[in-house]
Amino acid sequence: MWRSATALLFFLFQSTDFSAEGMKALEAQNYEAAAQAFTKAIEADPKDYAAHFHLGLSFSFLSRDPEAIAEYKKVLELKPGLYEAELNLGIVLLRDKQAREAIPYLQRAAEIKPKEFRPRFYLAESLFAAGDFVQAEEQYKAAAAVDSKSAGAELGLGRSQARQNRLPEAISHFRKAAELDGAYKDALLELASLLEKNGRTADAISIYEQFPENVAAQERLGELLIEAGRQSEAIPRLEQAVAKDPTTANRLALATAYIRAKQADKALPLLEKAVASDPANYDLRMFYGRALRDQKQYALAAKHFYEAVQRKPDSKEAWNELAGMLILLDSYPQALAALDRVKALGEETPANYYFRAIILDKMKEYKPALESYQKFLAASQGQNPDEEFKARQRVRIIQKELSKR
């Protein structure tokens, strides 16, 4: 990453003992000792720009970036336009998350040596980090022209084009980066994510299939296959993901695949384990509760919907689900209390009126039941024909009952 110290030996016109010691320490990769020696050399001669340069280099190797930056700037103050200082200062500023500040130094380095790869590449990296994707693309192209086998330049080029919403052009560069250097193969996962966002799910699936040992990739592949209605393909991949890494997310994905494949008997044990490992997860409680509800395990479903409202008391959705289960369990006062919570949260749908009417009817509270049935009919207006038919029948019966009193 850094300009070689040995390439700068010509700076040491009149090397002091401290500078000589520092150079030996640098070559031995003893960077602490090198920093100490060059600090002493600077104390002896504050205008020794070579000593400042090598002290900056030592700090760079020690990841003491603020100090390295200060030393490189001092070098350029003493020796304006020095290529090695411009380059190294730009690189360390980029590493220190100061991409915009790095740009002018790297631009000057690229102008001094236009056929060198490193200033072009790091200038491109700085421009990309600063959000100037158009100029970054141009510099990545220039870097790739100097070194056609640079996987980093190809990846940067692809990323720059993708950020400009030119994904079709970017794809080939992501793929070429992976071909040039196996260490860049994971960049294809980044490409897969971009393809997903652009609605190219089938292409994303084909990439995830190339990573059979990557648990996260297989998990995402399984999810996409589920969304595509290909549960039979998703299940073995998700089973493998759960076996390797039984996270809550993996278990939930596999349970979803089982449910969609009508294998709920396999899904419920997974959901039970997922809830046990993450009991505060509201969404997981709701999913498990609905799975239990669909399997007519109403008491257990009610328990999980109750746990969900404990974690998210303002969830109208959870209170409605809880009310539904309590009605099926003939727990009418508790169901009515749940519906009261929904009402207090500012929501009363036709379904809420209907459930309230049923509860009050079961409790023989005919007058408020009649009122709720009538509210339901007024609000539903043909949206729920079966329930409307039942409600009209009950309205007639209740009205007759009340007329006898």
| Eight-class DSSP state of 41 | H
What pLDDT is attached to residue 403? 85
Mean pLDDT computed over every residue of the chain = 92
Widest pairwise Cα distance in the chain: 119
Instruction: Give the type of residue at 215.
Output: V
Instruction: Give the type of residue at 315.
Output: S
- List every span in the chain annotated with CATH 1.25.40.10: 279-347
Q: What is the CATH number of domain 279-347?
A: 1.25.40.10
Q: Tokens for 198?
A: 């652009």
**pTM, to two decimals:** 0.68
326 pLDDT tier (thresholds 50, 70, 90) = very high
Give per-residue pLDDT as tens, 155-204: 999 999 999 999 999 999 999 999 999 999 999 999 999 999 999 999 99
Contacts of 127 (CB under 8 A, 6+ apart): 99, 103, 133, 135, 136, 139
Give per-residue pLDDT as tens, 327-381: 999 999 999 999 999 999 988 899 999 999 999 999 999 999 999 999 999 999 9
Give per-residue pLDDT as tens, 251-302: 998 999 999 888 999 999 999 999 999 999 999 999 999 999 999 999 999 9
Contacts of 26 (CB under 8 A, 6+ apart): 5, 34, 54, 57, 58
Return the ∠ at Cα 148 (arms to 145 and 151), rounded to 5°.
120
What pLDDT is attached to residue 12? 45
Give SS3 for 122: helix
Contacts of 95 (CB under 8 A, 6+ apart): 65
Contacts of 6 (CB under 8 A, 6+ apart): 27
Q: Tokens for 9?
A: 């030996």
What pLDDT is attached to residue 405? 67
* Residue among 132, 178, 138 at smallest CA distance from 157: 138
pLDDT at position 104 over 90:
yes
**Would you give the end-to-end CA distance of the chain in angstroms?**
94
pLDDT > 90 in the chain, percent: 82
Unique residue bearing structure tokens 């099926």:
328
What pLDDT is attached to residue 10? 42
The CA distance from 227 to 132, in Å, is: 36
Yes or no: say if 242 and 254 are a contact pair by the CB < 8 Å rule.
yes
216 pLDDT tier (thresholds 50, 70, 90) = confident
The CA distance from 223 to 24, in Å, is: 57
